[in-house]
Amino acid sequence: MQPLLPWASSGGVEVHAPSGSQCIYCLGSRALCGRKQCPIMLRYSKLQPVVSLRLESRTAMDGSSPPGVFVGRIGYPKVGVGPLVPPFFGDTSVLDQPEYWWSIDLDKLIEYRSSLVRGIFRVNVNNPWEAGRLFGLTQEMAMASQPIEASLEFSKPVKARLILDEDAQPFGPYGLVERLEAGSIKVNRVIEKAYYDEDLKASEAVYNAYSAGVPVSSIQKALSAAVFGIGRRRRLVPTRWSITAVDSILAERMIESLREYPEVGEYMVYESQHIDNRFIVVVMPGKWCYEFIEMFHPGSVWNIGGGENVAIGSDYEDVEGRTTYARIGGCYYAARLAVVEHLKRVRRQAAVLVLREAGPGYLLPAGVWLVRENVRKALAGKPTVFGNLENALTHAMKRLRTPWGLIIKESRLLRNIRERRRITEYLRE
């Protein structure tokens, strides 16, 4: 990683570029990646207002935490942990609650992410209590149900770092915390009860909180901050891992009951769109099986320099479930949770195909919440109903820019359905 001198002191934002990055030659002005808008300049424009408050020269700040807590994964098992606090007061809950983000644009999302200052102290995930009061308060903030007035003191001036990498998610400034003070903390009573129950398994605590109506994002924070689990076996879970863990735990628990439900009787196509991501959900009669396919068009994140080719990936499970981690990562589990929630709500099982298509307007990774919340949104809407598979797929095909032959070639679920149909037709003859 090498510093980029022309920007190194620009507005208090440190700018770094990975070795070999073409961004170091572009500086957002020459469009070497072929994009109409530079994702790095977009992140920079949202960071600058935060550091303009002179955070880079301060070793203390006050603000209202959404509440938010971050657990890093770099250096595992010794990781950076701490609260997320913006340098202002008020109702900041929306800054770290993805359930309310499905309608915001990319600019607003980056603004939210960039405004949260990460206070960091390093601990071993196996014994975070060694940090004493710093960890104790951070853990309380992870259990909170509303914004908390917080005061932080740092060992060095707060820094803002911008990585010249189009795949990097937006983050706000950060600083090493020496002291943390918090005002009155109103904790979520369901999460608090699980915290004091040292005989309750983490997976049970997660499902109990969900069943009581606690938002998934709040459950993820609590699991990350070692709030759940059996006694001293509790461990910190890096934020990225805890998000997928909660999605997976909840869906696996509900899938058990889905297998007892009758099958849907029609072919239904649901749809939603957000930040140049289109989601198509095809619900078909059949025993429980699920497939998630994502397609990234040229110019979108993860498909830079791919010419005219669409980058496509998928993963699948049938009624037997899966025993390995999905190749395409957390998005698979985020979409699956939304699908399972819907089927449990209507008390049916089905074969479900989720298609995600990202266009060039999707400049940088927003996080798996984008998938979960938009599949939820799609399934909460009114479907287009068909009497057969061919008409349902024809409708879905017209809603996407990806060549349909590419999807058919990728889809294991559709191949399995077509094979079963051919066998059935043969037996009828």
Instruction: Write the Ramachandran bin of 75: left for phi over 0, alpha for psi from -120 to 50, otherwise beta.
Output: left
d(CA 333, CA 239): 15
SS3 160: strand
For the four alpha carbons of 384, 390, 394 and 400, in that order, the dihedral sign comes to: positive
Q: What are phi and psi of 106, to 5 degrees?
A: -65, -40
Give 118-172 pLDDT, tens digit per residue.
Answer: 999 999 999 999 999 999 999 999 999 999 999 999 998 887 766 544 445 677 8
Give 202-224 pLDDT, tens digit per residue.
Answer: 999 999 999 999 999 999 999 99
- Confirm if 155 and 200 have CB atoms less than 8 A apart: no
- Confirm if 35 and 50 have CB atoms less than 8 A apart: no
- Confirm if 162 and 15 have CB atoms less than 8 A apart: yes
- Confirm if 179 and 83 have CB atoms less than 8 A apart: no
SS3 68: coil
The H-assigned helical ranges of 260-329 are none
d(CA 233, CA 201): 10
CB atoms near residue 402 (< 10 Å): 18
CB atoms near residue 403 (< 10 Å): 12
How far, in Å, are 4, 10, 52, 211, 319 from residue 259 at the CA level?
Answer: 56, 57, 55, 19, 8
Give 291-347 pLDDT, tens digit per residue.
Answer: 999 999 988 887 766 567 999 999 999 988 888 999 999 999 999 999 999 999 999
Inform me whether the pLDDT recorded for 7 exceeds 70.
no
Spatial CB neighbours of 349, under 8 Å, sequence gap ≥ 6: 258, 259, 261, 262, 263, 264, 286, 287, 288, 343
User: In the numeric block, which tokens belong to residue 130?
Assistant: 């060694």
CA count, 13 A, side-chain hemisphere, 121: 22
- Confirm if 384 and 282 have CB atoms less than 8 A apart: no
Q: What is the number of H-type helices and E-type strands within the chain?
A: 13, 15
Per-domain boundaries in the chain? 2-182, 267-428
Which of 177-181, 242-246, 257-261, 300-304 shows the lowest mean pLDDT across its residues? 300-304
pTM of the entire structure? 0.88
pLDDT at 141: 97
Inform me whether the pLDDT recorded for 375 exceeds 60.
yes
SS3 342: helix
Give 270-282 pLDDT, tens digit per residue.
Answer: 999 999 999 999 9
What is the DSSP track for 16-50? EE-TT-THHHHTTSS-TT--SS-HHHHHHHHHHHH
Q: What residue type is 37 in one-letter code?
A: Q
